[in-house]
Amino acid sequence: MSGKRFRRCARNSKREHADLAGIVIGHGTATLEETAYALGLTLKVSVPVVVVGSQRPLSGLSSDASMNLVNACRVAAHPQSRGRGVLVLLNDEIHAAREVTKTATYRLQTFRAPDFGMLGYVDGTVVSYYRSTTRITAPETEFDLAELVALPRVDISYAYAGGDGVDVDAFVAAGAKGIISAGFAPGMAPPGQIAALERAAAAGVVVMQSTRAGSGMVHESARLLELGFIPADNLNPQKARILLALALGKTSVREEIMRIFATY
């Protein structure tokens, strides 16, 4: 389905189906968290949207696919799911799209929210919520895909001992408008990559400092300000990439990008 047709369907779904309680989207688990977060930033529908996957294929022994799908439908139809933005459901656990990430290759309990934990459970037919998120989510966001022809290119530079910044220079040469630095905890890259990122920032590329740690926040600091980098809050690199691309569709001003990251 084309992007234009998808946007039209998303906008018209509630009008065309007045009895619609919610929407369930099946998705592979490799990039499920990225799709869920992107939808949570851009969808303009008021009904609950639940993204669901499975760790074991439907054809596999003890597959979790059928149970996850049933529970996702229960969550999507539940009245308390309204107003919570896009949700992720696997392993009987309900997660916020912004906070959840895949943490293991094969375990059923792979999807976790490292900093804050799940929103609730599904136990049989019972859907129970225990907390809410405070960040703004769909449909109350400022991002409108109808206004975008294409998203700006944003790449991720992964920090490792001895990194020399060749990746960063290649991203800039390829036309990157933004680069996420997946730095060491609590948020800084090795000297070679820092030098390349500094060159990128001087050339007008927006550089955001995240961390490869898997959890925790990158704070504003005198060092980041000196380098011209922007802290990515507690978003992991792959989600910071999505939000920065949407932000760059609206602005390249540091203060505005920081506001956006503090809002979503």
Q: Which tens digits make up the pLDDT trace of 169-225?
A: 999 999 999 999 999 999 999 999 999 999 999 999 999 999 999 999 999 999 999
249 exposure class (CB count in 10 Å sphere: 0-12, 13-18, 19+): middle
- The DSSP 8-state label assigned to residue 23 in this structure reads E
Q: What is the mean pLDDT of residues 214-240?
A: 96
Residue 91 backbone phi and psi in degrees, to 5:
55, 40
The band of 146, judged by pLDDT with boundaries at 50, 70 and 90, is: confident
The band of 3, judged by pLDDT with boundaries at 50, 70 and 90, is: very low
Cβ atoms of 154 and 245 closer than 8 Å:
yes
> In terms of residues, how long is the chain?
264
Whole-model pTM: value is 0.92
User: Rounded to whole angstroms, how far apart are CA atoms 100 and 53?
Assistant: 13
Question: What angle separates helix 166-173 from helix 191-202, to the nearest 10 degrees?
Answer: 20
CB atoms within 10 A of CB 152: 17
Render the burial of 42-70: b for 16+ CB within 10 Å, e for the rest. bbbbebbbbbbbbbeeeeeeeebbeebbe
Which residue is it, tokens 């300000």? 225
CB atoms within 10 A of CB 3: 12
User: Rounded to whole angstroms, how far apart are CA atoms 183 and 187?
Assistant: 5
Cβ atoms of 80 and 73 closer than 8 Å:
no
Domains of the chain are 3-129 (3.40.50.1170), 148-263 (3.40.50.40)
Nearest to 212 by CA among 181, 190, 241: 181
User: Rounded to whole angstroms, how far apart are CA atoms 260 and 264?
Assistant: 6
Per-residue pLDDT at 112 exceeds 50? yes
- The DSSP 8-state label assigned to residue 146 in this structure reads G
Q: For 39-96, what is each residue's pLDDT tens digit?
A: 999 999 999 999 999 999 999 999 999 999 999 999 999 999 999 999 999 999 999 9
Q: Which residues contact 13 (CB under 8 A, 6 or more apart)?
A: 20, 23, 45, 47
